[in-house]
Amino acid sequence: MERAPLLELQGIRKRFGGLEVLKGVDLRVYPGEILALLGPSGCGKTTLLRVIAGLEAPDAGRVLLQGQDVTLLPPERRGVGFVFQDYALFPHLSALGNVAFGLKGKDRLQRAQKALERVGMTLFQNRKPHELSGGQQQRIALARALAPGPKLVLLDEPFSSLDAGLRAATREEVRKVLKETGTTALLVTHDQEEALSFADRLGVMRGGELLQVGTPEEVYLRPRTPFVAQFLGRTN
Ligand code: ADP
C-alpha cells in the first residue's frame, strides 16, 4: 500500500515495573480501514490502545497521526475517539446527553441526534443507560465516539459483553457505520472469529510483540510463526 498511513506507530515500548508489556511495536493503519489486533489476554493490546489514545505515555517510540507526532499530546487534542470495553456511559445522563457531552457549539444537540440516527438509536435518545440493553449501550458508546468526527476510533473488545446472538448482528451494524462514515478503526479482541469477520486487516500479538500483520486471508493461510497458526486455530 502506497497511501500515507493515518496512524503510524514506531518502536513503541512500555514497561510496568519489571514487566515489559510492549517490546517495540511498529504498525501502520491506513485511512478508512478496520484493523483488528488479536492476541491472548495480557499480551499488551489494551496498553497499546491506551498509548495511541494518549492515556498512557510510551517509554520509547513515537505515535504519528496523519504524519504529525502526537506522542506528547493529551488525549483530547489527538482527534481520536475510543469505545471502552464497559462502554463507560454516564449513568445519570440520557443517551442523547451522553453523546452530546463532549461536543461543543450551538448545534451540539443536532449533531448528537445525527450520530444517534446513524446507529439506529433515535427512538431511545431519552433513555438512561440502565434502561438500555447491552447492544443498545454499545451503539450509544459508538455514537458518542463518532459524533465529534474523529480521524480514528479505538475499540477495546467492544462486543465482548454481548451475548453470542447479539454479537454478530451488532458487529455487522458497527462495521456498516464505520464504512459509511469512512472512519478508520483499530479494534482489540481476543476472539479469532471476530477478528477474521470484522477486520480488513489483522495483527497478531503475543507477549508485547506484533508477530504478523496482514489481511485475514494472508494471516490465516500463510501464518508466519507456529504461534500465529495455532492462535488462529489452523492446527486444531
Ligand atoms: P491485553 O489487553 O492484551 O489483555 P493489557 O495491555 O491489558 O493486555 O495488559 C498487558 C500486561 O500489562 C498485563 O500483564 C497487565 O497486567 C499489565 N498492566 C496493564 N496495565 C497496567 C498498569 N497500569 N500497571 C501495571 N501493570 C499493568
Q: Tens digits of per-residue pLDDT, 22-70? A: 999 999 999 999 999 999 999 999 999 999 999 999 999 999 999 999 9
Which of 87-91, 141-145, 167-171 holds the top average pLDDT? 141-145
Query: Is pLDDT above 50 for 236?
Result: no
What is the rounded average pLDDT of the residues 152-173?
84
Query: Whose C-alpha lies nearest to ligand 1, atom 13?
Result: 42
Higher-pLDDT residue of 141, 13: 13
**Using an 8 Å Cβ cutoff, are 69 and 85 in contact?**
no
Q: Which three cell numbers stand for residue 232?
A: 488462529
pTM: 0.91
Higher-pLDDT residue of 86, 110: 110
How far away, in angstroms, is 28 Cα from ligand 1 center?
A: 22
C-beta atoms surrounding 3 within 10 Å: 10
Query: Whose C-alpha lies nearest to ligand 1, atom 14?
Result: 42
How far away, in angstroms, is 145 Cα from ligand 1 center?
A: 23
What is the rounded average pLDDT of the residues 129-134?
91
Q: What are phi and psi of 27, to 5 degrees?
A: -160, 145
**pLDDT at site 28:** 98
At position 198, the amino acid (one-letter code) is: F
Reported confidence tier of residue 234, pLDDT bands at 50, 70, 90: low
Query: Whose C-alpha lies nearest to ligand 1, atom 6?
Result: 44
How many whole angstroms separate alpha carbon 107 and alpha carbon 91?
A: 23
Looking from the CA of residue 56, the nearest atom of ligand 1 is 23
What is the arrangement of strands in the sheet containing 68-69, beginning at the earlier edge strand?
19-29, 7-16, 60-65, 68-69
Query: Whose C-alpha lies nearest to ligand 1, atom 20?
Result: 47
Looking from the CA of residue 157, the nearest atom of ligand 1 is 2
Q: Which residues approach ligand 1 with their CB closer than 6 A?
A: 16, 19, 21, 39, 41-47
Looking from the CA of residue 188, the nearest atom of ligand 1 is 2
* Interface pTM, i.e. ipTM: 0.98
Q: How far is CA 8 from CA 24, 70, 166, in A?
A: 13, 10, 33
Higher-pLDDT residue of 159, 236: 159
Query: Whose C-alpha lies nearest to ligand 1, atom 24?
Result: 16
